[in-house]
Amino acid sequence: MAKQLGGAGLRGQVAGKTALSTVGKSGSGLTYRGYDVKDLANNCEFEEVAHLILKGKLPTQAELDSYKEKLRSLRGLPDALKEVLERIPKDAHPMDVLRTGCSMLGNLETEEDFSEQQDATDRMLACFPSIICYWYRFSHDGVRVDVETNDDSIGSHFLHLLHGEKPSELHEQVMHVSLILYAEHEFNASTFTARVCASTLSDMHSCVTGAIGSLRGPLHGGANEAAMAMIEKFESPDHAEQEMMGMLERKEKIMGFGHAVYSDSDPRNEIIKQWSEKLAKDVGDEVLYPVSVRCEEVMWREKKLFCNADFFHASAYNFMGIPTKLFTPIFVMSRLTGWAAHVMEQRADNRIIRPSADYTGEELRSVPPISER
């Protein structure tokens, strides 16, 4: 059953064209440049999908090797950026750190001309994990990590910097899947933010900085952190059910459920849920995964609301030892590909995005003298 699309929030209104992805239209429900996300998640590394989204085609082995080599060479951070990161307090939210880091990078390595858009994007793709982990390890552990690792992938680079050791094969694989699932999603709020910014002919770093701000909220990317905060309070599936029933009765929003476009399932959920189950077995979990499954059952039974991409990401990331506040920055590391590709698409066929509003204010009136107000 298709979701009723209309009403506030521009829901269901066509606001532009894209050749990058379809949501709720074909295959399992999500396609990137014509490939089903399930197919991509089962058969590709994230860097192949980044190449597909940003450069228009799946790479050959030689193209992939050279793309990964290029990304590896771009992991270092300028000293001025490290200095800024060192001044950000420990209790800052990592999404704010990333927003500042991206903006600072735009000052140091400004995109002077649109011909630099691919290089500016590759640089961010390579160094966002460095930015987030440099700040995290400095502010939390007091160490200045060497961010120039030789790890094979963006996901393993991130886990290596975070934990101080190379990740297991399982964890590297889960990072590939997770980054693929989060990479692109048509005209979602953060991507639309990036496109609006691009439509003024602004620079790539401004578009991405704005998009990070939009992704941060709990109704969008921030939902994976909010979901974690909720499930970690539940001691058992029965406890989860009891608490969820209370939340529903109080008409509270339950993060990680529902979607603006999908009507009865988010195709990314089935995939990340399987990986969460594998990770649960790997760590011997007997609480978080069964609690998450019960939450899913209760929400469907009571409200016909389904898990979106964020819900099982919470337990999966937790099982890999990732601190909750770093969940949404991982989303950024991935969605950067979608944002940048949309910026490029907008630039290639641009008209400034400037919709209209229905006015609901006062009728025309004259300004009274200040003594009479």
Ligand X SMILES: CC(=O)SCCNC(=O)CCNC(=O)[C@H](O)C(C)(C)COP(=O)(O)OP(=O)(O)OC[C@H]1O[C@@H](n2cnc3c(N)ncnc32)[C@H](O)[C@@H]1OP(=O)(O)O
Ligand Y SMILES: O=C([O-])CC(=O)C(=O)O
Q: Which does 342 bind (CB under 5 to 8 A by kind): ligand Y, ligand X, none?
A: none
DSSP-assigned letter for residue 115 = G
DSSP letters along 311-373, please?
Answer: HHHHHHHHHTT--GGGHHHHHHHHHHHHHHHHHHHHHHT-----------SPPP-PPPPGGG-
Any catalytic annotation for residue 171? no
Beta carbon of residue 189, minimum distance to ligand X (angstroms, whole number): 7
Reading the block at residue 126, the tokens are 């390579």
Catalytic-labelled residue, pool 51, 203, 310, 342? 310
Catalytic-labelled residue, pool 160, 171, 185, 259? 259
Distances 86 to 108, 147, 215 between C-alpha atoms, Å: 17, 14, 24
What residues numbered 290-309 form the site for ligand X, per CB under 6 A?
305, 308-309
Beta carbon of residue 190, minimum distance to ligand Y (angstroms, whole number): 7
Q: Single out the residue of 223, 240, 222 nearest to residue 231, CA to CA.
A: 240
Is residue 220 involved in binding ligand X (CB under 6 A)? yes
By beta-carbon proximity to ligand X, the closer residue of 123 and 259 is 259
Total number of residues binding ligand X (CB under 6 A)?
16
Beta carbon of residue 36, minimum distance to ligand Y (angstroms, whole number): 16
Burial (0-12, 13-18, 19+ Cβ within 10 Å), 117: buried
Which residues sit at the interface with ligand Y, rule CB under 6 A?
Answer: 185, 188, 260-261, 308-309
Is residue 330 involved in binding ligand X (CB under 6 A)? no
Distances 281 to 172, 272, 284, 286, 316 between C-alpha atoms, Å: 17, 14, 5, 8, 11
Looking at beta carbons, which residue is closest to ligand Y? 188
Site string for ligand X, 50-79 (x = CB under 6 A): ------------------------------
Q: Which does 258 bind (CB under 5 to 8 A by kind): ligand X, ligand Y, none?
A: ligand X
Distances 264 to 25, 210, 259 between C-alpha atoms, Å: 13, 30, 9
Reading the block at residue 289, the tokens are 């995964």
Looking at beta carbons, which residue is closest to ligand X? 258
Any catalytic annotation for residue 39? no
Beta carbon of residue 283, minimum distance to ligand Y (angstroms, whole number): 27
Is residue 94 involved in binding ligand X (CB under 6 A)? no
Distances 130 to 72, 162, 177, 291 between C-alpha atoms, Å: 11, 9, 20, 33
Cα–Cα distance measured from residue 103 to residue 122, given in angstroms and rounded to the nearest whole number: 16
Pair 121, 154: CB distance under 8 Å: no
Beta carbon of residue 315, minimum distance to ligand X (angstroms, whole number): 15
**Helix 267-283 and helix 169-182, axial crossing angle in degrees, nearest 10:** 160
Beta carbon of residue 330, minimum distance to ligand X (angstroms, whole number): 12
By beta-carbon proximity to ligand Y, the closer residue of 85 and 211 is 211
Q: Which does 134 bind (CB under 5 to 8 A by kind): ligand X, ligand Y, none?
A: none
What residues numbered 245-264 form the site for ligand X, per CB under 6 A?
253-260
By beta-carbon proximity to ligand Y, the closer residue of 187 and 234 is 187
Applying CB under 6 A, among 272, 310, 322, 328 the residue interacting with ligand X is 310
| Residue 17 main-chain phi, psi, to 5 deg | -115, 155
Q: Which does 68 bind (CB under 5 to 8 A by kind): ligand X, ligand Y, none?
A: none
Q: Which does 256 bind (CB under 5 to 8 A by kind): ligand X, ligand Y, none?
A: ligand X
Distances 274 to 178, 269, 270, 279, 336 between C-alpha atoms, Å: 12, 9, 6, 9, 25
| Residues classed as catalytic | 259, 310
Chain residues binding ligand X by CB under 6 A are: 219-221, 223, 253-260, 305, 308-310
